[in-house]
Structure 1
Amino acid sequence: MRRGTIVALGGGGFSMEPDNPLLDDHVLSLATRRRGADGLPRVCFVPTASGDAESYVDRFLAAFDGRAETGSLQLFRLADLDHVDLRSFVLDQDVIYVGGGSTANLLALWRLHGLDAILVEAVEAGVVLAGISAGMNCWFEASVTDSFGPLAPLHDGLGLLTGSACPHFDGEAERRPTYVDLVATGSLPAGVAADDGCALVFRDGELHEAVSSRPGAGAWRVHLAGEGLDVAESPIDVRYLG
């Protein structure tokens, strides 16, 4: 069983709820190492899925200013960081926070640079792995993604968490019906879904709890029920952080 803490945000956080810090504060609270010189956690933003969009990085830096010792890992600009030992840099963080965008592009570039293996080592060493949307999908074996246009299954995740994942379960009109259909037909294995404003906290590979930044944000286990193509959406208890 994989050791460590992973936080999968279906939606929310600084990029979607800039005036609601509850989910991001909860992620910070899980960082127990506190490696920063001033006692604040070191949090590294990884915007690979967005093509290292500078505006995304700027929003992260502004949102976490004063709450953490911040940095970013921009693989599209890695030539500018040729003096950086990628493994040492990642292992020296308290939290790796992965942004949204293309899950497929994220996975391809991480593997090209060996970041996938480094992240496995990091989580087992106590670094909290967190992410939203593509940054949720990437930790699982499979997911539903719009990386190729229309929503489709992706069976190429890192596999740190078993089964499949679906972010934005209530936030995008086609997410819920598409994910349920993919599980029903066997195109995706059973898994978990999270609304915008909801995060799933995993410890040592098992779901520990679900938390939310707004009342009513939900999470579900989506799985086959009985014979045929019947799918159950079993609610997961969610703790509102407000």
Structure 2
Amino acid sequence: MDGTILTLGGGGFSTAPEGTDGRTLLDDFLLSLTGKERPSVCFVPTASGDSPEYADRFLRAFAGRAETSVLSLFGRDPWGYGDPAMVLEQDVVYVGGGSTANLLALWRLHRLDERLREAAANGTVLAGISAGMNCWYAGSSTDSFGPLRALPDGLGFLPGSACPHYFGEAERQAAYHRMVGTGELPDGHAADDGVALLWRDGTLVEAVSERPDGQAFRVSRVGEAVVETPLEVRYLGG
């Protein structure tokens, strides 16, 4: 898979404290990947059912520093139905959290997945948080069906599996170890809240964090054991 993808285990504008402008170190880093002073950024809130409140948070957080748009597959007001081809005109496509399973089903129905692959090959940076992290990998740990379970049916833009919110949600770490250990999911990567993994052309480049204590791991099955290997994480705050 050609292209640049930034996968957030949590953080970014989605979890910025109320009463702030929503600007975060991870989102600043994402914008810097474009090399442009005022890039075009399209938010895709499919996983949340195109929540207007979620989209409004995005618009407020990126106001004044990006040309913003929202791609709605539900035809929500005030945007109406968004033509998936609009992602081909963006510098960044930023995917929100919610239900990974619902996101994948709708994207495939509307053939948005095909447009995103084309956009990435042409230089658009793809990014996402939580479900927006999961979707790019071959498989993931998801709560789309209630209790955490394996979803081995991702887009496969990135190799292996993914687990967001690694320490941010109580069951995530243990459940992901179980899924990798039983073979429900292939070996993969886990990112805590506030941490993102940067990929280029299918290769992991680095892990970055907007928190000084951010952590990320490679999680692998070795024989009958599951091995958790810490990744070096660069703190974006200096």
TM range (shorter): over 0.9
Specify the SS of the correspondent of 1:148. Answer: coil
Q: What is the SS of the residue equivalent to 1:123?
A: helix
2:75 aligned counterpart, secondary structure = helix
Q: Distance in 2 between matches of 1:85 and 1:197?
A: 31
Counterparts of residues 1-242 of structure 1 (less than 5 Å): 2-18=1-17, 19=20, 21-32=24-35, 34=36, 39-77=37-75, 81=80, 85-87=83-85, 89-225=86-222, 227-228=223-224, 230-242=225-237
CA distance in 2: counterparts of 1:116 and 1:86, whole angstroms: 9
CA distance in 2, matches of 1:231, 1:153: 16
* TM-score computed with the length of structure 2 as normaliser: 0.94
- The whole-number CA distance in structure 1 between the counterparts of 2:175 and 2:152 is 15
The gaps in structure 1 that reach 5 residues or longer are none
SS of the residue 1:233 aligns to: strand
Structure 1 length-normalised TM? 0.92
- Could you tell me how far 1:155 is from its partner in structure 2? 1.2
Task: Give ranges in structure 2 of 5+ residues lacking alignment.
Answer: none
Q: Is the 8 A contact 2:196 2:207 kept in 1?
A: yes
How far, CA to CA, are the matches of 1:184 and 1:46 in structure 2? 33
State the alpha-carbon separation in 2 of the partners of residues 49 and 197 from structure 1. 19
Distance in 1, Cα, partners of 2:143 & 2:191: 16
Residue 12 of structure 1: CA displacement?
0.2
- Give the CA deviation at 1:3: 1.0
State whether residues 99 and 131 of structure 2, in contact with CA within 8 Å, keep that contact through their aligned partners in structure 1.
yes
Q: CA deviation at 1:111?
A: 0.6
**1:110 and 1:184 mapped to 2: Cα distance?**
30
Tell me how far apart the structure 2 counterparts of residues 29 and 103 of structure 1 sit (CA, whole Å): 27
Structure 1 residue 17: deviation in Å?
2.5
Q: How many residues align?
A: 232
Partner letter of residue 209 of structure 1? Answer: E
Deviations 1:97-132 (A, max 9, x none): 000000000000001111010000000000000000
Cα deviation for residue 219 of structure 1 reads 0.4
Partner SS for 1:199:
strand
Stretches of 4+ aligned residues off by more than 6 angstroms: none
2: CA distance between counterparts of 1:58 and 1:81?
Answer: 15
Q: Displacement of 1:156 after TM fit? A: 1.1
Query: What is the CA distance between 1:86 and its match in structure 2?
Result: 3.0
Residue 25 of structure 1 deviates from its aligned partner by 0.3
3-state secondary structure, aligned to 1:224: strand
Residue 185 of structure 1: CA displacement? Answer: 1.0
Identity of aligned pairs, percent? 62
